[in-house]
Structure 1
Amino acid sequence: MSDVTLLPPAAGGDPGDPDSTTASAAASTDTKADPGTVGQWRMMWRRFRRHRLAMTAAVVLGMIYFVAIFAEFLAPYSPSTRFDDLQYAPPQLIRPVDTSDGFAIGLFAHGYEVTTNEETQRRTVSIDESVTAELGFFVKGEEYELFGLIPWDRHFIGPTDPDNPVFVLGTDRLGRDMLSRLVHGTRVSMSIGLVGVAASMVIGILIGGLSGYYGGAVDTAAQRLIEFIMCIPTLPLWMMLAASVPDDWGVLTKYFAITVILSVIGWTDLARVVRGRFLALREEDFVEAARLDNCGSLRIIRRYLLPSFSSHIIAALTLAIPAMILAETALSFLGLGMQAPAVSWGVLLQEAQNVRSLVSAPWLLIPGIAVVVAVLALNFVGDGLRDAADPYNTGGRRWRKRT
């Protein structure tokens, strides 16, 4: 006589009913299988978390955008504040201990000394170790409007004595704090990439989607337009479009104009990617089923085609943002984009065009370091998203190490 193992009865079922026992076993199996089932976005997030370089770059990128959002609060001064006696002042080193007058713990920096050459009447600013300036957090300073709405006069860090200023990154030729200008320039340079990519995404998806979905004459016309734009040399096209911007436009108007210029140039690559995906997906069974269900073309594109490769679009857009930032920086550096009194990384790099900045004031090149860090962070995040969105990337290397 063989041993028989009885399964526990389902809730409300009969212990002697074999159908009830079978249903209970199936329910138990399904319950155990459900936790192992994950969606596409959660699977992308798991793969992205395993990309350590991309995660580190995402943290750096988050810090950069945090600086851009709270620029007024984080900057010690406004970008236009001038210190007439401290032109080309060198950066000051912040130290945690001061022993000039006893022993004190905090944030301290040496002051400045201004000397004048009697023959040339040229003033030189140097570090004076006999003078000590103290810094503090949440100090009272220049008034501003946080987010353009909340009036406030507190700054995250700054000198406790307004008569003894501190410039961590030095000053420019007009005596303006480079750190404050760099922080305020982060908002323009980083946001113009997002706005430009958003505009180019709309244009690229619209033209590329219609081209790939309808084909025929629509596809031919769209591809000829893309090829025409891509054949135009980039720099002359920038110069032509930037020259059409009137000089009497305000800062916000020029910002909008530069965004439009970058969007007109940057949508072609995304349009080709979308077209290729539409050509591959428009003959799939789920698209044919949607047609038979009397779904319109726009609904099929919006509800079925775009979501099927939305992860690839996100990765492509992430990799396109650095190109937008570099384009804005190049335009402003060449005098074709943002101009003073606007503040962006490209405008700040205009100060580094003369020989003196390279010899006597090399700290004016610091905005270039910010551009490199931001572009590298965006590229690494884009690479991580691209790898996470790849359905054939299953983390085989990590699996082999574990086994």
Structure 2
Amino acid sequence: MTADISAPPIAKPLAGADGVPTRIISPRRLMWWKFRKHKLAVVSAAFLIFAYLCTILAGFVSPYDPAGRSRNLYAPPQGIQFIDADGRFHLQPFVYGYKMKRDLKTLSPVYTVDTQAMFPISLFVHGEPYKLLGLLGTDIHLFGVEEGGYIHLAGTDNFGRDMLTRLIYGSQISLSVGLISVLVSLVLGLVMGGISGLYGGWIDNVIQRIIEAIIAIPTIPLWLGLAAAVPRDWPALYQYFAILVVLSLISWTSTARVARGRFLALREQDFVTAARVYGASKTRIIARHLVPNLMSYVIVTLTLAIPGIIIGETALSFLGVGLKAPTVSWGVLLQEAQKVQIIQFYPWMWIGPAACVVSVVLAFNFVGDGARDAADPFSR
């Protein structure tokens, strides 16, 4: 009697020790389930998504043009109101205008609230024209006031420019520089670390000596030296890419050393040996077999390295060797607000960009902590 082998075997569901059917969960879903348990990381991830959406849609979210000026110089932030001076509740929020007078001793403007000037806040208002996503020309803004009024929720600077608008536009550089620089340094670190760990010998020695030489140089002087080599007469776009290159050339060394150690541990595993036996090249072994086993480390490195890059760009611009005005970034805004008079009398000019940097850096660190716990197979 012969067995019928034409029909495929029927797959039986896996059963646990108690006989209850179980299912196989992918590592990615397990990581997501663990990540969701870290509430602070989830909230931080939502905040970062919101921040990057505002960055992408900066022209739509901000009420004004970043270079637009008003007559209100050094004006303090306006508060959103629902109850007017007479105690009446308004369903539509509004802001009060300013009354300005000069201090006779310092000649600086002094602002008080003008309860007679009430400017209702509306959604999807027409304002200054801009290009949405750099392509579509429009003048629709998320919020604003009718023509003849003004709204400065984060105050204005010494030229009467809206600080909230400049903070939103500044995020386009300060947030994107972190992503791009980390991606470049991550690719460079994985490639150099993979070559060093997989080939070994004199190639490993040369790469490790280069890494040690870069690490031995103090970070701030190295930043200053590389940034000072950028010509000051370059356009803002060229300076931006030069800052990306500077930060990427510095930050790849730690990734390369960790990748080298991981590759040294993985290159003797059975699946790597099998790939060699089948004739796979070393480039294919690195790209298809070793790098995927480092994905948990890559995710954690991305979330924890981006804050360092953001702080690096901010520090370079603050020290005056990074981006320069009229380019708008959080570091440039801090550099413009470093005078003692501004720190003492107009604190909103430095509190705004400082709060943006601190909040984004903390959010990335919280997300990195959650991603690290989720990627750890021994965590609960």
Count of residues in Structure 1 that have an aligned counterpart in Structure 2: 371
Match of 2:26 among 29, 36, 39: 39
Partner of 1:254: 239
What CA RMSD, in Å, does the superposition of the two structures yield over aligned residues?
Answer: 2.2
Task: Tell me how far apart the structure 1 counterparts of residues 344 and 27 of structure 2 sit (CA, whole Å).
Answer: 54
Q: Give the Cα separation in 2 of the matches to 1:306 and 1:57.
A: 27
Match of 1:149 in 2: 135
Q: Which has the larger radius of gyration?
A: 1
Matched position secondary structure for 1:246: coil
Point out where structure 2 has 5 or more consecutive residues left out of the alignment. Answer: 4-8
> Aligned partners of 1:120 and 1:38: how far apart in 2?
69
Matched with 1:301 is: 286
Contact 1:87 1:125 in 2 (8 A): no
- CA gap 1:47/1:121 in 2 versus in 1, 3 angstroms: closer
Match of 2:61 in 1: 74
Deviation by residue 1:87-138 (Cα, 9 ceiling, x = unmatched): 1001111112446697642111110112235676544333222221221111
The amino acid that maps onto 2:57 is F
Q: 1:315 to 1:322 in 2, by over 3 A?
A: same
- Show the counterpart of 1:13: none
Q: Which amino acid aligns with 1:147?
A: L
2:50 alignment partner, one of 63, 67, 70: 63
Write the distance in 1 (CA, Å) between the matches of 2:299 and 2:75: 44
Deviates more, 1:247-256 or 1:259-268: 247-256
2:304 paired residue number: 319
In structure 2, what residue type is equivalent to 1:69?
I
SS of 1:288's equivalent in the other structure is helix
Once superposed, which parts of structure 1, at least 4 consecutive aligned residues long, lie more than 6 Å away?
30-34
1:153–1:294 distance in 2 versus 1, CA, 3 Å: same
CA distance in 1 between counterparts of 2:373 and 2:88 reads 57
What SS class does the counterpart of residue 36 from structure 1 fall into?
A: coil
Matched, 1:352 2:337: yes
Question: Are 2:14 and 2:22, in contact at CA under 8 Å, matched by a contact in 1?
Answer: no
Does residue 90 of the first structure (1) align with residue 76 of the second (2)? yes
SS at match of 1:27: coil
Cα contact 1:77–1:141 (8 A) shared by 2: yes
Quote the residue 1:108 is aligned against: 94
Identity of aligned residues (%): 47
Aligned residue number for residue 50 of structure 1: 37
Q: Deviations over 1:262-284 (max 9, x none)?
A: 00000011001100000001011
Query: Is the alpha carbon distance of 1:100 and 1:140 closer, same or farther for their aligned partners in structure 2, counting shifts above 3 Å?
Result: farther
Corresponding residue for residue 332 of structure 1: 317
Query: Given the two structures, how large is their TM-score scaled by the length of structure 1?
Result: 0.87
AA partner of residue 37 (structure 2):
R
Report what 1:375 is aligned to: 361
SS where residue 12 of structure 2 aligns? helix
Change (3 A) 1:110 1:36: same
Q: Secondary structure at the match of 2:72?
A: coil
The corresponding residue for 1:191 is 176
What is the Cα deviation at residue 378 of structure 1? 0.2
**Aligned mates of 2:39, 2:105 — CA distance in 1:** 59
Match of residue 217 from structure 1: 202
Separation of aligned partners in 1, 2:193 and 2:326: 38
Contact 2:300–2:371, Cα closer than 8 Å, also in 1: yes
CA distance in structure 1 between the aligned counterparts of 2:267 and 2:318, rounded to whole angstroms: 44
* Alpha-carbon contact 1:107-1:134 (below 8 Å) kept: yes
What TM-score does the superposition give when structure 2 sets the normalisation length? Answer: 0.93
CA 1:122–1:375 in 2, change beyond 3 Å: closer, same or farther? closer
